[in-house]
Amino acid sequence: MNLHRAYIWPLLACCLLTGCEKIEIDDPENNSGDAEQIIPTSLGMGSQLSPYTVEQVMNGEVESGERWFVGYVVGSTHTTMKNALFTSQTTYTSNILISMDSTCQTTDDCIPVELKSAVQKQLALPFNAENFQQCVMLRGQMLQYFRTNGIRQVEQGYYLPHFDISLLKSAAPAEWQERHERY
């Protein structure tokens, strides 16, 4: 009987110790603001590899729900788009303005982006002045913001310094591209 216990307890301990492994599960509710920094390969589909553009948001051509967006950070605003500041020297942390033109100086060519508190230090201009006029990837929803189409509820995002969005092509289906080329 003692011999039986001498073999069972070490075997049981081995099984328990080697069978315990830390498993990480992706949590869609994780609000840390961290996102894997994937460089997009095309535009127009709302995914991280093919984010929506500022023009698509302006025209309301975005599917509902959380999607990925790309643009250049060109400023921020307070309370209304009439108060837009196209500078890195701002104190507004709750939003940024993005455009497809990194030198944008007009509200006609940019959209407002609401930054949730989880990503403000990571994305807002007061904390990231060096990223003024740099490319940014954002995950949020297209909704009305400051009485215009914008991006709200942004909880994930990252900068792509020196990335040139103009090098990307639309990811529209081939038949759309063919139809567009004919006309």
Residue 179 tokens, joined? 């139809």
What confidence score (pLDDT) does residue 119 get? 97
Q: Are 143 and 153 in contact (CB under 8 A)?
A: yes
What confidence score (pLDDT) does residue 31 get? 43
What confidence score (pLDDT) does residue 20 get? 47
Domain ranges of the chain: 54-155
What confidence score (pLDDT) does residue 22 get? 41
Per-residue pLDDT of the chain (183 residues; tens, 9 = 90+): 565 566 665 655 555 555 544 433 333 444 445 678 999 999 999 999 999 999 999 999 999 999 999 999 999 999 999 999 999 999 999 999 999 999 999 999 999 999 999 999 999 999 999 999 999 999 999 999 999 999 999 999 999 999 999 999 887 655 444 544 544
User: Which alpha helices (DSSP H) does 28-183 contain, by range?
Assistant: 54-58, 120-123, 174-182
pLDDT tens per residue across span 22-54: 433 333 444 445 678 999 999 999 999 999 999
Distance CA 48, CA 55 (A): 17
Q: Are 115 and 127 in contact (CB under 8 A)?
A: no
What confidence score (pLDDT) does residue 95 get? 97
**CATH class of the region 54-155:** mainly beta
Give the CA count within 13 Å in the CB-facing half-sphere of 104: 27
What confidence score (pLDDT) does residue 5 get? 60
